[in-house]
Amino acid sequence: MGLAAAPLGFYYGFVSTALPILLAARGVSVEKIAEVSAVGFSPTFWAFLLCPILDVHFNKRTYALFFAGVAAICLGLSTLLTGNLPALIVVVTLGCAATVLFGNAHGGWMPHVIEDKHYAQVGGTSNIANLGAAGAFAWLTVHLMRTLPATTAAALLALLMMTPTALLFFIPLPKHSLRSASETFSTFFGDLYRVCRRRECLLGLLCFLSPTACFALTNVFPALGTDFHASENWVTAINGPYVAVVCSLGCLLGIWICSRFARRTVYIVTGFGGAIAALGLIRSPHTLLFFALGVLVYNFFTGINYTAFTALCYEIVGPGNALASTQMALLAASANLPISYMTAIDGRVHDHHGLGAMLAVDALSSIAVGATLLLIFHKIRSGTRAAEELVAG
């Protein structure tokens, strides 16, 4: 089931890795490339406001196929618009919004058709599809654009992006009743408020909105080649295919871990592993070897973390939730917020205080906030257990 989410990874890998390479080859400045990426990825924050449509009229399969198709068309067009940045930004942003809606149609579908014991398994395979596909598709995009005629490559890439959606036809459709558009949108904020008053949802939002385990350095590592005396080719290889492999391995291990430990605890503790990898880079020699080791270890914990995140989201939403897609979108948007602000903080600290300070600030903020959250959750569990024993007594 989770592998049907591969178009999500394809599109994000294209925008985060392949598109900057294609733009740089045309002589576009780093500032403009960053602008395209920032605006293009903005739907990961606001597109959840559109997600009530996913609970209206059509079934989840129809919505997933439609938005995957829109995203595939936008991806193909984007490869042909690298010489027209205003048009490129519009198309990339539209494609990202469609990708977010596809991802939430798929994500909101899963809690209705899988059992709790399978949440970690589906979460792991979903993230293998997402993270692993991102690295592989980014490399393939650049390769095809350099070896085939532009229009042929664009069409082939769009077709490849749609291929995994064939798996959607093998996933049972939800059995809950769909709501009308007027009912869904008129009650959207009220329903969302009531859903988010659930304790589990609030605790999940507390985790996702905090800087612990957000793994923001994944957005910074590709820019650190000079700091570690690594060539552009090696930086691309490490942050593309190599990261895809270790993230996928982390996702697989995350399935086993999340089936044995509390998913919320796994989510936070993986942040400690990433923080240790970041701290290790401070004292290690600034060479290609240690850069590769640090990035890959960091991303291994990222893979475990993403499995825990997805499994925890499924647990929070649960079956029979009339606004499952919307709540999944809200949780995903909340997790994207700390990635954004920590990336901004990391970049500012790097430019003003250097590499070591940046790595220390990122790592220590994750450890400090994560430890605080674990203490809070422990006290909440202890209080709940005591109340249950009092009632039973």
Asked if residues 244 and 135 have their Cβ atoms less than 8 Å apart, the reply is: yes
- What kind of fold does domain 2-166+183-392 have according to CATH? Growth Hormone; Chain: A; (1.20.1250)
- The pTM for the full model equals 0.75
pLDDT value of residue 325: 63
Quick one: pLDDT at residue 90?
Answer: 96
**Which among 381, 53, 324, 332 is positioned nearest to 199, based on CA atoms?**
381
3-state secondary structure of 132: helix
pLDDT value at residue 24: 73
Give the Cα separation of 130 and 306 in Å (integer). 10
- Block means of pLDDT (10 residues each) for the chain, length 393 residues? 77 82 74 72 81 77 92 96 94 94 77 62 64 80 89 96 89 67 71 74 86 84 80 79 88 89 92 96 94 94 90 81 70 83 80 88 94 89 62 54
| pLDDT given for residue 87 in this prediction | 96
Report the C-alpha gap between 162 and 19 in whole angstroms.
19
Q: Extract the tokens encoding 177.
A: 């009743």
Task: Please tell me the predicted confidence (pLDDT) of residue 167.
Answer: 86
Q: What is the per-residue pLDDT for 241?
A: 85
Q: Give the model's pLDDT for residue 259.
A: 86
CA distance 96 to 291: 30
pLDDT at 219: 75
So where are the chain's domains? 2-166+183-392
CB 205 within 8 A of CB 337: no
* pLDDT for position 198: 76
Q: What per-residue confidence (pLDDT) applies to 121? A: 65
* pLDDT at 391 (0 to 100): 54
